[in-house]
Structure 1
Amino acid sequence: MINVGVLGATGAVGQRFVQLLAEHPWFNLETLTASERSAGKTYRDAVNWRLDKPFPESTGDITVSHTDVASLKGLDLVFSALPANLATKLESDIADAGIAVCSNASSHRMDKNVPLVIPEVNQEHLGLIDVQRDSGRDGFIVTNPNCSTIVMAMALNPIRSRGLSDIRVATMQAMSGAGFDGVAAMAIYDNVIPYIGSEEEKMENETLKIMGQFDGAEILPAEFSVSASCHRVPVIDGHTMAIWASVNASPEELKADYRNYSAPFSGLPTQPEKSVQLLEESDRPQPRLDRNRGDGMTVSVGRIREGIRFIAMGHNTIRGAAGASILNAELIVSKKYI
């Protein structure tokens, strides 16, 4: 077993990490960290559990530590659900101390020597781990993308070989993406908020890194363009998006691509049976009906029309956050970086 910890374990994404790791067959969850007000309490007493899954009793007696490098002694790997302002220095310090970091934070996603990975899309980018180690770092940092970027990149991947250019996307993003206290009830009920800070820039920039080419030393960005408009909607979980893509293929050809698509690896515990699933119904995908496909790790695609236009949807705190980071860690273990 590989000894792991979760940084920021009491927040929305931190709780999802704990839920997914509690009975993981490869990872032994030993350490949970949080802010000073939670440090010293048992996890049961420190956390206000708000997920739709039962509280994992196996984690209840773990004593929560303050988030610092000293509290992580003896761990092989940590999962970071830290806010970006805290993650920037702390994740670097942890990696320098010889511990692997799989991060959901945005701090290091665009760093030149840090891989921004979706296993089904760009697993070869893990080669940047060697670049980090060659620079003298004993550990390493691997990041997963923004939640909306993951859903879009996953949805585009099965048709990527057709050639992509001029991608346009309008998102309808769930409230949980802002955290438990991120959107006031009176602001979101009966409403759509047509702005999410820095979200559009993340989608436009991260996608080009993810779909770029690794030349052995750095990532050469993809050469197509992405234009995003992001919106918060009164849905609890599940980011939905309308995507327009310049692709030289008919809707029926693209449907065949989705039907025939399979992940380029197998045997990872968090991997769903179908990473991307085509739904043929005229009114799907829908968050309430489809977000939990593949235990929340499947991205659903539907309404493929001339243009090319289609709808994509995925669970933002599982596939788009904690589950993505855990799948990254499993891929890292399978490639013997740990």
Structure 2
Amino acid sequence: MIQVGILGATGAVGQRFIQLLTDHPEFELRVLTASEASAGESYRAAAKWRVDSPIPERVADQTVRRTEPDAIPDDVDLLFSSLPSDVASEVEHDFVEAGYVVSSNSSNERRATDVPLVIPEVNPEHLDLIEAQRANRGWDGALIKNPNCSTITMVPALAALEQFGIERVHVATLQAVSGAGYSGVSSMDIIDNAIPHIGGEEEKMEAESRKLLGELGDGEVQYHDAAVTASCNRIPTIDGHLENVFVEFAEDPDTEAVAAAFEDAETIDLPTAPDPLITVFEDPERPQPRLDRMVGDGMGIAVGGIQETETGIKFNVLAHNTIRGAAGASVLNGELLAEDGWL
């Protein structure tokens, strides 16, 4: 078993990490870290448990450690990070410099030229950037990122359609409140309302999607040349990001060809990976967050509403934002790191 730890284990995404890593077939959860205020407490006392399953007993009594490299046992091989990006931008470097491999959900450095931004079913070869990262920075460990929750909802569907020559993408998102964290949006702001702006989200979608779909060569990623435009909106659902996607192609695929491409999307043989990756609904009223966010145990992508437009194809896509879009994405990247011998 590979010994793993979670940096920032008490927050919402940290709790999802615990849910996914408990009884994992390859990873044994050895270390939990949090802020200085929580260090030394039992996890049960330090975390206000909010996940939709009981807190695992073997985790509840673990002692929370300081988020510092000297607090981590030497036999831990992999760390998962759910730290706030302003903290992670400094702290993650400390761990990587100390020789740890960090699979991070935090947003810092996703666009750094030598940091792999990876969805295993889409661009596993981008892990080779680790060689350039180690050469550039003199690190013994490695830092790998998964994209943000709205990007990871859309990009697997786009990757399945790349065979038709993607030229332009427009997307409007309907994002769940859990994407902002437990205290991220006040109830007075979101109940009976929708918020047509999420700070920084549109820029993340536009840049991260092009990096993920780009080609790796000579130690760097050449971004995909498609034009991507995003409009991001917060709505009063709890979990599950729903997105309306409009794509223009070099070719002219019909709806049947697009649906077949989704159904044939490449899967990957890792413990947390869903099969199929993309579930296609014929019912034009699906997918819906409440009904379909747990497709593939929360790791799948749900697509529906495929229609032809004057300029291309439009469809709706949905994924669970705190599972596939956050903790689950990092766990899957950790499995890929292990599979490819980076640990």
**Residue 199 of structure 2 corresponds to which residue in structure 1?**
197
Q: How does 1:105-116 map to 2 (within 5 A)?
A: 105-116=106-117
Q: Give the deviation of 1:317 after TM superposition.
A: 0.3
**Residue 244 of structure 1 corresponds to which residue in structure 2?**
246
**Residue 14 of structure 2 corresponds to which residue in structure 1?**
14
**SS across alignment from 1:223:** coil
CA distance in 1, matches of 2:40, 2:263: 50
**Residue 261 of structure 1 corresponds to which residue in structure 2?**
265
TM-score relative to the length of structure 1: 0.98
Q: Give the deviation of 1:257 after TM superposition.
A: 1.2
Letter aligned with residue 145 of structure 1: P
**SS across alignment from 1:6:** strand
Q: Give the deviation of 1:9 after TM superposition.
A: 0.6
**Correspondent of 1:315 among 317, 320, 342:** 320
**SS across alignment from 2:122:** helix
Deviations 1:226-255 (A, max 9, x none): 100000000000000000000221111111
CA distance in 2, matches of 1:23, 1:183: 33
**SS across alignment from 1:206:** helix
TM-score relative to the length of structure 2: 0.96
**Residue 72 of structure 1 corresponds to which residue in structure 2?**
72
CA distance in 1, matches of 2:180, 2:206: 19
Unaligned runs of 5+ in 2: none
Letter aligned with residue 15 of structure 2: Q
**SS across alignment from 1:171:** strand
**Residue 335 of structure 2 corresponds to which residue in structure 1?**
330
Deviations 1:207-240 (A, max 9, x none): 1111110003100110001100000000000000
The question of 1:185 aligning with 2:187 is answered yes
**Residue 37 of structure 1 corresponds to which residue in structure 2?**
37
State which drifts further: 166-175 or 133-142: 133-142
Whether the 8 Å CA contact 1:4–1:27 is kept in 2: the answer is yes
CA distance in 1, matches of 2:247, 2:7: 37
**SS across alignment from 2:62:** coil
Q: How does 1:93-172 map to 2 (within 5 A)?
A: 93-135=94-136, 136-172=138-174
State which drifts further: 95-104 or 58-67: 58-67
CA distance in 2, matches of 1:258, 1:112: 30
**SS across alignment from 1:246:** strand
Letter aligned with residue 315 of structure 2: F
Letter aligned with residue 251 of structure 1: T
CA distance in 2, matches of 1:27, 1:319: 18
CA distance in 2, matches of 1:240, 1:217: 34
Whether the 8 Å CA contact 2:22–2:56 is kept in 1: the answer is yes
Letter aligned with residue 22 of structure 2: A
CA distance in 1, matches of 2:132, 2:253: 38
**SS across alignment from 1:293:** coil
**What's the RMSD between the two structures over aligned residues?**
0.9
Unaligned runs of 5+ in 1: none
**Residue 173 of structure 1 corresponds to which residue in structure 2?**
175
**SS across alignment from 1:108:** coil
CA distance in 1, matches of 2:91, 2:35: 13
CA distance in 2, matches of 1:78, 1:103: 8
Whether the 8 Å CA contact 1:127–1:216 is kept in 2: the answer is no
CA distance in 1, matches of 2:70, 2:266: 42
Letter aligned with residue 66 of structure 1: R
**Correspondent of 1:231 among 218, 230, 233:** 233
**SS across alignment from 2:93:** helix
Q: How does 1:23-62 map to 2 (within 5 A)?
A: 23-62=23-62
Whether the 8 Å CA contact 2:263–2:276 is kept in 1: the answer is no
**SS across alignment from 1:288:** helix
Q: Give the deviation of 1:155 after TM superposition.
A: 1.6
Identity across matched positions, percent: 50
Letter aligned with residue 327 of structure 1: L
Deviations 1:262-318 (A, max 9, x none): 31x31x110112111111112100011100011100010000001211000000000
CA distance in 2, matches of 1:260, 1:100: 32
Deviations 1:90-122 (A, max 9, x none): 111111111000000011111110000000111
Deviations 1:51-81 (A, max 9, x none): 1122111111110012112112322111000
CA distance in 1, matches of 2:144, 2:150: 18
**SS across alignment from 1:214:** strand
